Amino acid sequence: MTKSFSIVSPDKLAADRYAGLTTESWRWLGTTALIVLVALLPFALSNYHVFELTMVMIYAIAVLGLNILTGYNGQISLGHGGFFAVGAYTTAILMHHYAVPYWATLPPAALICFVLGVLFGLPALRFEGPYLALVTLAMAVATPQVLKYFDNWTGGQQGLNLVKPSPPAALGIDRDRWLYFITLLVLLLAIRVAANLLHGRTGRALVAIRDHPIAAAAMGIDTARYKTLAFGTSTLFTGVAGALSAIVIGFVAPESFTLFLSISFLVGSAIGGIATIGGAIVGGIFIQFVPNLANDISDAAPSALYGVAMLLFMYAMPHGVVGTLGPLLTRSMLRIQARWPALIGK
Amino acid sequence: MAPILELHRLKAFYGQSEVVHGIDVAVEEGGMTVLLGANGAGKTTTLRAICGMVRSEGEIRFAGEQLERRTTEQIAGLGVAHVPEGRGTFMALTVEENLRLGGYTRAGRPDADIQRMYGYFPILAARQHQQAGSLSGGEQQMLAIARALMMGPRLLVLDEPSFGLAPRIVEEIFNIVDRIRREEHVSVLLVEQNASLALELADHAYLLETGYVVTSGSAKALADDPQIRRSYLGY
Amino acid sequence: MHELLQQIFSGLAAGAVYASVALALVMIYRATDLVNFAQGEMAMFSTYIAWSLVTVGLPFWAAFLITLVASFLGGMAIERIIIRPVENAPVLAAVIVTIGLGLIFNSLAGWFYSYTVQDFPSPFPDRPLFGALMTTQELGVVGVTLVMLTLLFLFFRFTKTGLAMRAAAQNPESARLCGIPVGRMLAIGWGLAAAIGATAGIMVAPVLFLDPYMMSGVLLYAFAGALLGGISSPVGALVGGVIVGVTENLVGTYLIPTQLKLTVALALIILVLVFRPNGLFGTAIVRRV
């Protein structure tokens, strides 16, 4: 099954060749160029900027998880900050109390978040729309309080300090860049998994359930199973992102995982485009940079600017950046095809 | 008599697709015109275009006004009362409240008008404080027509009033509509699949097929033409 | 026993506030299928306006009325200017807009009025009543809420505009066919919701003290209460809000430390929802294929 991660919709164009190359070749070319660029980038930037980009990727993975749930399955979650926290604290507790090496904490974090998500998904089947929002909201609200409560594990209010991993000496790069590449690897893996999942049978089933649950059930799709799995997969992604965040930042505390984080993920998801994979990356960029930018511009009311940014994005692109620009791009290419068929044709 | 409603080269769209391809229709003042045709012919879309509910191109002239770029509320305020497909009743409100809403655009108290409606449809009087959703199909249709009449319209637009109703009720409703047309001096534009009954009462008829007018003329002429009857109207 | 009754009355007063905000949420939800996440922040901002009027020397009830009118107009303006552009967009876009709006109000309040906690005057002297079963403050809050609800009921039931608004919320297309300006009805709905929120904020400020985060907890409880009652039911909003208020109070006093109060309260509400997924008074959405 080809990894179909394309912003343009080739089926609408019904073309085999674009300026001489096939779709497949273009995709391969584009993806490789992008990966090369992204791989070289950290060597051109300062440590702090590399750290920021790493956080962008972490948020992108988290938002990707949310996109699977909200975009493809139509279930709203206001609680993904909580699952992010579970991943982060799983890593933190394993590293801090049991001296587990950082890379080995990722699978347990993934597993725990998956199981938790499935468990959450089961009762969530009964709820729709705003009711589901409330249930997930409860998760987000409960998380910091629960974290503070079990303080002998979690370090309570003070949180836990973690030792940041050292890069293997053989590679000769420093810690920030090493973490960047690890995160990049996880992000690429996540995109790959998501693309395969969502552009295949599972994805179609999820969209069917989202758009016409009754028709989907009538066609024999096991709605409950898919919805629960969607929840679990979604929380798995976000949990892994959380685990990575603990490793990269080197510190966890309840104050970092409030309702605001859950809302940020939802905002990032909507701004990028909920039913897209590329949108997750846009969302990650938005979450990381816009609040900081707002802070730089205004001392007095930075959140107001953040809010205004949200409004403007939604007015201009109600389906998100990728959700709006994607079809726009397809339409432009259709026009090019009509005008210059030699360029885009069979 | 001059037409109270004229459609000139009207195109109407259902979403992105053009489903009505430039039709000409006229409704004589005080008369009843019926649009016939199979499902998907574009009848309902035409009605929706008149009331500004779908995108359209071409001319829509009503009592000397151009309707093309007006909003639905404005068109209603000008005197076009549309009883939509499916009745559009406010299910959770009472019969009386539904009627009051019909009189929204009119100044003064609606009580006299409401009593007049009960005169045409006595069954509604009996149910005036009941929730509209609890009425039978036929009663809801009567309520929808009464609500439209509360507007004091000059043109009554009815979209498939016979839909889902038993033949006896349909006949009763059609007779009342005809009586209303004469007593209230309202012109009627009717869309119907039940051709025989409609053609008995109407003055003029248009036959639509996939967005085009294939035949038009006096209702009697269409009813008598055996070929049209057999091919399009099925009897 | 005496203390239990005291806590119950206290809960009723809190419940009155939650019920009001819940009602505002339900009103907007019924009209637009949208949960207005900015409702709390709008109410907070209104309360600050009242506060500045009182600080400048206006008598309390004059400030109250002026704030109500200003909030009503502000609510209408918000619907027309801020919400209108996303009315036909996907619901999520509108949700994000309300979230952003909430942030804007919160931030502006902090900027104009600073983040220091302020005292807010109460029109009711804080005296115990009925053998210290409740205070005049609590009774006053319940009283004002009841008056407001009565006025709203009369408006919706007996006025032409009220009926038109109910129609516009239920079936906008049919309402348009009756000549009802649905857009204007929506704006009025938002205006009323804003005024209701302002009332709730002013009533609760003497107790919670005024700061830009005053209403965030209230909004959460109101949201939970609205869902508990059934998000499409105004009666449900009231009942739900009161139940949440009383429950929160009792749970906080008798069961657990304040820290986990919110979590436990939400857990209890969710438990109820598991058995009644559409809320106590909500109607199951019958889906026709």
Distance from CA of B87 to the nearest CA of C (A): 9
Q: Is B8 helix (H, G, I), strand (E, B) or coil?
A: strand
* Domain-embedded: residue A80: yes
CATH number, position A86: 1.10.3470
Q: Which tokens belong to A242?
A: 């959380």
In this complex, is the C-beta atom of C163 within 8 Å of any C-beta atom belonging to chain B? yes
Residue A5, in any domain of the structure: no
- Cβ-Cβ contacts under 8 Å, C110 against chain A: 301
Residues of chain A below pLDDT 70: 1-21, 23, 344-346
Rounded CA-CA distance B138/B158 in Å is 14
Residue A172 domain-assigned (yes or no): yes
Mutation target for B interface from C174, C185, C232: give the one with most B CBs within 10 A.
Answer: C174
| Confidence grade of residue C203 (pLDDT, cut at 50, 70, 90) | very high
- Interface check for C166 against chain B (CB to CB < 8 A): the answer is yes
Q: Average pLDDT, stretch C198-218?
A: 91
pLDDT of residue A329: 83
A26 within a domain of the structure (yes/no): yes
**pLDDT the model gives residue A13:** 63
Give the start-end residues of each E strand in B63-221.
65-66, 80-83, 155-159, 187-192, 204-209, 212-218
Task: Tell me how far apart the alpha carbons of residues C143 and B75 are, in angstroms, rounded to a whole number.
Answer: 45
Q: Do C103 and A137 touch (CB under 8 A)?
A: no
Look at residue C281 and tell me if it is in a domain. no
Q: Taken in order A320, A323, A326, A332, is the CA torsion positive or negative?
A: negative
Kindly tell me whether chain B and chain C come into contact, counting contact as 3+ Cβ pairs under 8 Å.
yes
Strands B204-209 and B32-37: parallel
- How close does chain C come to B32, measured CA to CA in Å? 20
CATH of the domain at C73: 1.10.3470
In this structure, what are the phi and psi dihedrals at residue B206, rounded to the nearest 5 degrees?
A: -125, 140
Beta-carbon separation of A126 and C100 below 8 A: no
- Mean per-residue pLDDT pooled into runs of 10, chain B (235 residues): 88 89 92 88 92 92 90 94 92 94 90 92 92 91 94 94 89 90 91 84 90 89 79 66
CA-based nearest distance C160→chain B, Å: 8
Q: Tell me the residue range of the domain where C219 lies.
A: 2-275
Touching chains, C (3+ CB pairs < 8 A): A, B
Q: Is C284 on the interface with A (CB under 8 A)?
A: no
Record: contact C178-B72, CB cut-off 8 A: no
Residue C92 lies in a domain: yes
The answer to whether C164 faces chain B, any CB pair under 8 Å, is: yes
Contact A326, C119 (CB under 8 A): no
Cβ atoms C196, C188 nearer than 8 A: no
Judge whether A232 lies within some domain. yes
- For residues B114 and B147, is the Cβ–Cβ distance under 8 A? no
Q: What is the band of C287 on the pLDDT scale with cuts at 50, 70, 90?
A: very low
Q: Given pLDDT bands bounded at 50, 70 and 90, which one contains residue C88?
A: confident
Has residue C48 been placed in a domain?
A: yes
> Which of A131, A304, A307 minimises the CB distance to C227?
A131
Chain C interface, best mutation among A131, A257, A299, by max C CB count within 10 A: A131
Query: Is C284 a domain residue?
Result: no
Q: Which residue has the tokens 């009283």?
A: C143
For the stretch A141-180, pLDDT in tens is: 888 888 888 888 888 888 888 888 888 877 778 888 889 9
Contacts of C179 in chain B (CB under 8 A): 73, 76-77, 104-105, 151
Residue C22 has pLDDT above 80, yes or no: yes
Quote the domain boundaries for residue A299. Answer: 10-345
Q: How far off is chain C from A23, nearest CA to CA, in Å?
A: 31
Q: What is the pLDDT, as a whole number, of residue A316?
A: 93
pTM above 0.90, yes or no: no
| pLDDT-wise least confident of A39-53, A66-80, C125-139, C211-225 | C125-139
Interface of A with C (CB under 8 A): 70, 76, 123, 126-131, 133-135, 137-138, 141-142, 145-146, 148-149, 214-215, 263, 266-267, 270-271, 274, 300-311, 313-315, 318-319
CB contact under 8 A, B90 and C174: yes
Name the residue in chain A with its Cα closest to that of C101.
A307
Check B84 against C160: CB less than 8 A apart: no
Interface contact flag, C106 A303, Cβ < 8 Å: yes
CATH classification (class only), B3-233:
alpha beta
The total domain count for chain A is 1
Which amino acid is located at B59 in the chain?
E
Between the CA of residue B155 and those of A15, A246, B207, what are the distances in Å? Answer: 52, 70, 20
Please compute, for residue A259, the number of CA atoms within 13 A of its CA located in the half-sphere on the CB side. 17
Question: Which tops the pLDDT comparison, A103 or C176?
Answer: C176
Across the interface, whether the CB atoms of A141 and C263 are under 8 A apart is answered yes
Using a CB–CB cutoff of 8 Å, tell me whether C38 touches chain B.
Answer: no
What's the rounded Cα separation, in Å, for the pair A187 and A62? 10
